[in-house]
Amino acid sequence: MESNRKIDPDLGLFLFHAIDKSEYTQEKIAEELGVSREAVNMYCSGKRKPKPRTLLRIIKLTNVQAKDIPF
């Protein structure tokens, strides 16, 4: 069975920079999302794609502007 959460280095880099530029740390984002710090680390490294709802929550938490979303 194939997962729809495949490796995506471009998304990972986007998330890494969004969190890095925000007032949040990966630990605080994980706490806000109710996931482990390791999960957020995997999202930021591109080794795992977050679910669409989780992705939207990260974007909202980090105050990314719509024009800056690359997809």
Note whether residue 68 is domain-resident.
no
Asked if residue 64 has pLDDT above 90, the reply is yes
Residue 70: the pLDDT is 87
* Residue 28, domain extent: 9-62
| Helix (H) or strand (E) segment spanning residue 43 | helix 37-45
Note whether residue 2 is domain-resident.
no
Residue 4: the pLDDT is 59
Residues 12-61: tens digit of each pLDDT: 999 999 999 999 999 999 999 999 999 999 999 999 999 999 999 999 99
Cα–Cα nearest to 10, from 46, 47, 40, 39: 46
Count of the separate structural domains present in the chain: 1
Note whether residue 52 is domain-resident.
yes
Name the H helices within the chain: 9-21, 26-33, 37-45, 52-61
In angstroms, the CA 63 to CA 43 distance is 17
Residue 5: the pLDDT is 58
Cα–Cα nearest to 50, from 34, 60, 39, 61: 39
